[in-house]
Amino acid sequence: MSEPRPSDRHDASDSDETFAEIVDEATQRDPDLAVIEAGSRTLRAASGPPQADEVPARPSDPEVDRALRAVERELAGRWGETKLEPSVARIAALMDVLGDPQRAYPSIHITGTNGKTSTARMIEGLLGAFDLRTGRYTSPHVQSITERISLDGAPMDAERFVEAYQDIKPYIEMVDAQQPYRLSFFEVLTGMAYAAFADTPVDVAVVEVGMGGSWDATNVIDSTVAVVTPISLDHTDRLGSTPGEIAAEKAGIIKQGATVILAQQPVDAAQVMLKKAVAADATVAREGMEFGVVSREIAVGGQLLTLRGLGGEYDNIFLPLYGAHQAHNAVVALCAVEAFFGIGAEQPGSLDADIIRKAFAAVLSPGRLEVVRSSPTVVLDAAHNPAGARAAAEGLSEAFGFSRLIGVVGASGDKDVRGLLEAFEPIFAEVVITQNSSGRAMDADALATVAVEVFGNERVQVEPRLDDALEAAITLAEEEDEYAGAGVLVTGSVITVGEARLLLGRG
């Protein structure tokens, strides 16, 4: 294993002494592990105290909570995120009456199938580390609707969220009256985000598409940087039945003369993206060609990375997230920020490596292989399609030495639940099937029928209530002394993960 070089960080002499002390303390256990743990702990120390949980609880002020609930009810009365009329006409009309707030700041636009939110959080953290005021718009939320709109790296507080809605409500009603269909839930939130970013004002917006690209409500911005995370099969009824067909829709975010940061893709998806980029006279940087992950090593609490960006290599990067997929998200985020600053095209050189290290060491991504309890260890992951499930399974197997793993799965009815379950089958000793409170949730008995076909009857338990499912899984993990290293993974849906988070006291 390669040894981290603390001399590359500031206060080199102090870091050297700290590193040596930590190694000395731990060498009785395992010399290689001691070196890696020392590197990760030293890098964490250099980044300052960990950030607070970015998943806000309900407002403590009863008046604010009532006002937020009133806004949530009004938004819930609109078309949900899964009911779509493929057009940007309504959001464009709203932007017009609001004075085109989305043109008041530059932006980085993110599409893809998996990894969008984690990548957006990393981009936001990197830009903030360079003293830029940021706005981030992502979806869906884990627990609170206010998570979707972040300012300066923190979710918009409930009071400001309510104000943002009330500020544009008269304009929403004006557009509703003029259009064949009312603005949807997602379109209203997009309008709120773009208006709030202009009002703040932010230096740069980091925007994740809701679904697709061309006709997604977010696609009224003209971003100079377009990011495409890995494309796989999801929302096939709306986007297409092959990665290439899905890519054709997602390529719609590529604007004239933009820079495209392209994560590793299936061949047909990559071909579609490159063709679109050529048509738009865009510059393309491809993972595995112009940039990539040079090396990564498991570290305590995450992983140590060396990344090759557009401006050169950045080593000794501690990323407090698990899984190879997060390392790939990290290099995509790094290159997006380099491209935003013109690195690799308009100017030579690289970004300040110490700032990059500090920013990555402070990254949070709630609900993505997130540990929320110990004894037994309970991990949450929002994987909801086969590709996401495979990435989660690989990351979990790599980072945790569970002797026995119990799955808790609650999925949405419009997903490839068989593919999801098949991806987890090799790592789950048993699975507890459940359902969340969403109207989109697949009935627990129907999901269990598929689970029995995948796992066999003896490995499947059904608990329709999520609280009962969590209790059952934890009991199974604690069942026998020989399984003292057992763990629980809660997965299948962002909503399932969010509700589990609340039940386990993280809300």
Q: Three-state SS for 49?
A: coil
Q: How many C-beta atoms lie closer than 10 Å to residue 240's C-beta?
A: 17
**pLDDT at 22 (0 to 100):** 38
Which of 9-13, 454-458, 475-479 is the least confident region? 9-13
The conformational region for residue 472 under phi > 0 = left, psi -120 to 50 = alpha, else beta, is alpha
**pLDDT at 239 (0 to 100):** 59
Q: How many C-beta atoms lie closer than 10 Å to residue 80's C-beta?
A: 14
DSSP percent split of the chain into helix, strand, coil, nearest 5: 45, 15, 35
The Cα-based distances of 356 to 182, 353, 452, 490, 491 in angstroms read 43, 5, 46, 32, 31
Rounded mean pLDDT of 169-186? 95
pLDDT at 274 over 80: yes
The Cα-based distances of 72 to 166, 189, 506 in angstroms read 12, 11, 21
Residue 108: band (very low, low, confident or very high) from pLDDT cuts 50, 70, 90: very high
Per residue in 127-171, pLDDT (tens digit) is 999 999 999 999 988 889 999 999 999 999 999 999 999 999 999
Residues 6 or more apart whose Cβ sits within 8 Å of residue 31: none
More confidently predicted of 196 and 113: 196
The Cα-based distances of 139 to 143, 315, 365, 485 in angstroms read 11, 31, 13, 34
The DSSP secondary-structure symbol of 136 reads: E
**pLDDT at 81 (0 to 100):** 65
pLDDT at 277 over 90: yes
Q: Burial code of 297-309, b = ≥16 C-beta within 10 A, e = fewer?
A: bebbbbbbbbbbb
Residues 6 or more apart whose Cβ sits within 8 Å of residue 103: 221, 222
Rounded mean pLDDT of 343-367? 88
**Residue 385 · residue 234 · CB < 8 Å:** yes
**pLDDT at 282 (0 to 100):** 96
Share of the chain above pLDDT 90, in %: 69
Which residue is listed with tokens 């068989």? Answer: 418
Per residue in 25-64, pLDDT (tens digit) is 433 333 333 333 334 343 434 444 334 446 777 888 999 9
More confidently predicted of 89 and 17: 89
Rounded mean pLDDT of 110-115? 92
Per residue in 288-342, pLDDT (tens digit) is 999 999 999 999 999 999 999 999 999 999 999 999 999 999 999 999 999 999 9
Please state the separation of Cα 111 from the chain's center in Å.
12
What is the enclosing helix (H) or strand (E) of 237?
helix 236-239
* Closest by CA position to 367, among listed 189, 501, 470: 501
How far is it, in rounded angstroms, from Cα 335 to Cα 79?
36
Mean pLDDT score of the chain: 86
Residues shown for the chain: 507
- What is the chain's alpha carbon radius of gyration, rounded to the nearest angstrom? 23
pLDDT at 507 over 90: no
* Closest by CA position to 186, among listed 82, 44, 106: 82
Rounded mean pLDDT of 86-91? 90
How far is it, in rounded angstroms, from Cα 400 to Cα 101?
45
Rounded mean pLDDT of 66-91? 87
Phi, psi of 437 (to 5 degrees): -85, -5
How far is it, in rounded angstroms, from Cα 352 to Cα 224?
22
* Closest by CA position to 477, among listed 396, 378, 389: 378
**pLDDT at 1 (0 to 100):** 36
**pLDDT at 440 (0 to 100):** 83
How far is it, in rounded angstroms, from Cα 358 to Cα 356?
6
Q: Compute the C-alpha angle 213/96/222, nearest 5°.
A: 40
**pLDDT at 178 (0 to 100):** 94
Number of H helices, E strands in the chain: 17, 17
**Residue 354 · residue 10 · CB < 8 Å:** yes
The DSSP secondary-structure symbol of 211 reads: S
**pLDDT at 395 (0 to 100):** 93
Share of the chain above pLDDT 70, in %: 85
pLDDT at 367 over 50: yes
Q: Three-state SS for 448?
A: helix
**pLDDT at 481 (0 to 100):** 53
